[in-house]
């Protein structure tokens, strides 16, 4: 009887810790110190962005390249500008890399490495903000 209760308690504790871990992941997805960390939501609700940000970016890339439209919420440069964080020296940390000191995965890298989805954007696009028009 005691053993069963202990087991149940252990299970409950495990479940609770799993839930709180998931919750902390949810809340810590944005990198502390980035502009995004101070905002309630991205250009669309967070759940939508998690599942479909690539669709927004892919749609955007067509209209930017072919129609020249640059005034938009959905540009990749916008993602980088808002989600990039700085290290202690004030240098931008690449969004597709990790903080070399703390080892903390940056915004794009964190999820993409976790989910095993290759991130191709930054083989051509810059991963830190560089002034538009430069």
Partner 1 sequence: MSEKIDQNRREFVSVAGKAAAASVVAPGVLLHSIAHAEPRAEPVTDAVRYGLLIDTTKCADGCSDCVSACDKENGLDLLGKPDGATDEDWARQKPRWIRTVKVKDRLSGHVSSLPLMCQHCEHPPCVDVCPTGASFRRADGIVMVDRHTCIGCRYCMMACPYKARSFIHENIKVKLSAVPRGKGCVESCTLCVHRRDYGVAGTACADACEHGAILFGDLNDPNSDITKALQERNHTQLRADLKLNTGVRYRGI
Least distance from partner 1 to the Cβ atom of residue 33, Å: 21
- For the record, the structure tokens of 114 come out as 């976790």
Nearer Cβ to partner 1 (26/70): 70
89 lies in the site for partner 1, by CB under 8 A:
no
Least distance from partner 1 to the Cβ atom of residue 97, Å: 13
Cα separations (Å) of 52 from 4, 56, 77?
44, 7, 17
Using CB under 8 A, which residues numbered 46 to 85 contact partner 1?
Answer: 61-63, 65-72, 77
For residue 77, the SS3 value is helix
Instruction: Single out the residue of 49, 68, 61 nearest to residue 125, CA to CA.
Output: 61
103 lies in the site for partner 1, by CB under 8 A:
no
Least distance from partner 1 to the Cβ atom of residue 134, Å: 6
132 lies in the site for partner 1, by CB under 8 A:
yes
Q: Do residues 81 and 95 make contact, with C-beta atoms less than 8 angstroms apart?
A: no
Rounded CA-CA distance 122/19 in Å is 33
The residue ranges that bind partner 1 (CB under 8 A) are 61-63, 65-72, 77, 123-126, 129-134
């Amino acid at each position: 009887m005691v053993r069963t209760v202990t087991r149940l308690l252990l299970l409950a504790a495990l479940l609770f810790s799993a839930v709180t871990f998931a919750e902390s992941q949810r809340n810590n997805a944005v990198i502390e110190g980035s502009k995004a960390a101070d905002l309630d939501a991205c250009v669309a609700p967070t759940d939508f962005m998690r599942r479909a940000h690539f669709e927004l970016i892919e749609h955007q890339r067509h209209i930017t390249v072919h129609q020249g439209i640059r005034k938009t919420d959905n540009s990749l440069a916008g993602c980088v500008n808002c989600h990039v964080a700085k290290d202690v020296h004030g240098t931008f940390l690449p969004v597709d890399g990790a903080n070399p000191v703390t080892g903390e995965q940056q915004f794009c890298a964190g999820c993409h490495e976790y989910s095993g989805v290759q991130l191709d954007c930054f083989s051509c696009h810059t991963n830190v903000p560089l002034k538009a028009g430069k």
